Copies of this chain bind each other. A is one copy, B any other.
Amino acid sequence: MKKAGYRKTRLDAAAPGVHDARMKAWLFPLLLCCGFVSADESPITLVIHGGAGVGRESLTPDKEKQCRQVLEQAVRAGHAVLVKDGAALEAVQTAVMILEDSPLFNAGRGAVLTGAGTAELDASVMEGRTGQAGAVAGVQGVRHPIQLAEMVMRKTPHVLMIGRGAEELARAEGLRFEDLDWFITPEQVARLERARKKSAALDDNDFSLRMGTVGAVALDRQGNLAAGTSTGGLVNKRSGRVGDSPVIGAGTYAENGVCAVSCTGHGEFFIRNVVAYDVAARMKYGGASLADAAEAVINEKLKKLEGRGGLISVDARGGIAMPFNSDGMFRAWIGPDNVPHVAIFQD
C-alpha cells in the first residue's frame, strides 16, 4: 500500500496541455500576437473534479477505467457548451450533472449515506460576471442539486436555502425528483456498514470515508468565470451536518478577472479556512499567481493543519491549478489544446 503523504502538485507537469498561470502570462500575449486567439475572446477552459481522497489500493483497474470514462464524458460535454459560445456557468452545470448522475461519484446518485442511511445533498454555484451565487444544503430527492442551487440564484432573492424549504422551491420550479432509493447504491450501503462497524464516530484517519465531491470551474469565450460544486458529504455523518460544498467562499467561489475555484476534501477545514475565497484574496490583495495561491492554501496552510483535500481552479486567462494533498484527486480538463485530459494520482 502506498504511503499516504502530502505531495506537492502545483500542476500535473507530465500531462500535456496543462499550463500554469505564469506560463499563461506570456503564452496568451504570444498567441494574441500570432493571431491564434483574438483580443476579445478568452481561451475557453473547463476543469472538473470527482473528489479527493481516493487511494490507489481501493481503486480496481476496472473501476478506474469507469471513473476515467465518466470524467472524460463530463469534461467533453461541458467543454462543448463553451465551444458553442455557451456561458461558463452552463458548462459547469452540464459537467456536474453528468457526475451527479454517475453512481461512481459522491454526488446525486451514488452519494454517500448519512448515519440515518439517507442521502442528504448539498450544492452551490457562483457566477464571476455578476457575483451572483446560489446554494442548497441538506436536500433529499432532487436529482440534480446543482440545478437547484442555480434555481436559488436565478429565481429567488436568496443565496442559501436548506432542507424542506429548498425542496419546495425545486417542486415549484418543476425540477426532476427521484425516489429516495434511487440515490442509494449497493456500494454506498456497504460503505456505510463498514463505517458503522469501524466506529460509532468517524475514524479521523480514514480519509477515504471523508472525501468525495464533484465540481467544475470554467472560463468562457466572453471571459466570464464560473464555479460549481455538488456532494453527498460525509459517509455516516450526523444528519444535518453540512460541509463546505454549499458554502460560498469555502467550497465554491468565482470572480471575473480573478479566478474560479471548486474544492473537495475534509469540509470542516475548508470552511474554517475559507479556502475558495482565500485563493482569490491572495491573488487580489497579495498579487499571487493562481498557481502560487492555490499551492499555498492546499499544500502549505491546509497541510500544516492536516486538512486533507484539493481544489480545481482557473484564472481569467485560462491558467489552471489543481493542487491536492491527499492520495489522489479525480480530475479532468480541456484547455487551449482542445484535448481532454484525465488524471487521478500524481501521474
In-complex Cβ contact of A163 among B163, B247, B282 (8 A): B163
Instruction: Decide yes or no: A268 and B131 within 8 Å by CB, A138-B163, A282-B285, A286-B286 being known contacts.
Output: no
Instruction: Decide yes or no: A281 and B271 within 8 Å by CB, A161-B241, A162-B163, A240-B162 being known contacts.
Output: no
Instruction: Decide yes or no: A131 and B273 within 8 Å by CB, A238-B158, A241-B165, A247-B247 being known contacts.
Output: yes
For the complex of A and B, 4 pairs with smallest distance between CB atoms: A165-B240, A281-B281, A285-B286, A249-B274
Residues of B within 8 Å of A137, CB to CB, are 137, 160, 162, 242
A305 to B133, CA, bound (A): 14
Asked if A156 lies at the interface with its beta carbon under 8 angstroms from chain B, I say yes
Residues of chain A at the chain B interface (Cβ within 8 Å): 126, 131-133, 137-138, 156-166, 168-169, 201-202, 204, 237-243, 247-250, 253, 267-268, 271-274, 277-278, 281-282, 284-286, 305
- Determine chain A's interface SS by DSSP, over half rule: mixed
Provide 7 A-B residue pairs closer than 8 Å at the C-beta atoms, listed in order of the A residue: A158-B237, A159-B271, A160-B241, A161-B240, A168-B239, A248-B274, A285-B286
Q: Is the CB of B268 within 8 A of A249?
A: no
Instruction: Decide yes or no: A156 and B238 within 8 Å by CB, A278-B277, A285-B285 being known contacts.
Output: yes
A141 to B319, CA, bound (A): 49
In-complex Cβ contact of A239 among B131, B164, B241, B282 (8 A): B164
Give the residue name and chain of the B residue nearest to A248 (CB). Answer: B271
Q: Is the CB of A277 within 8 A of B281?
A: yes
Residues of B within 8 Å of A267, CB to CB, are 159
Q: Is the CB of B238 within 8 A of A133?
A: no
Minimum CB–CB distance from A104 to chain B (whole Å) comes to: 26
A272 to B157, CA, bound (A): 12
Q: A164-B239, A281-B282 are in contact. List 19 more A-B contacts (CB 8 A).
A: A131-B272, A131-B305, A137-B160, A137-B162, A138-B163, A157-B204, A158-B241, A160-B243, A160-B247, A161-B240, A162-B242, A168-B239, A169-B238, A248-B272, A277-B277, A277-B278, A281-B285, A282-B285, A284-B285
Q: Is the CB of A163 within 8 A of B240?
A: yes
A286 to B288, CA, bound (A): 11
A79 to B253, CA, bound (A): 37
Q: Is the CB of A238 within 8 A of B165?
A: yes
Residues of B within 8 Å of A305, CB to CB, are 131
Minimum CB–CB distance from A141 to chain B (whole Å) comes to: 14
A231 to B280, CA, bound (A): 28
A159 to B133, CA, bound (A): 21
Give the residue name and chain of the B residue nearest to A286 (CB). Answer: B285
Minimum CB–CB distance from A157 to chain B (whole Å) comes to: 7
Minimum CB–CB distance from A119 to chain B (whole Å) comes to: 14
A273 to B277, CA, bound (A): 9
Give the residue name and chain of the B residue nearest to A288 (CB). Answer: B285
Give the residue name and chain of the B residue nearest to A305 (CB). Answer: B131
Residues of B within 8 Å of A278, CB to CB, are 277, 281
A132 to B272, CA, bound (A): 7
A163 to B204, CA, bound (A): 25
A249 to B242, CA, bound (A): 15
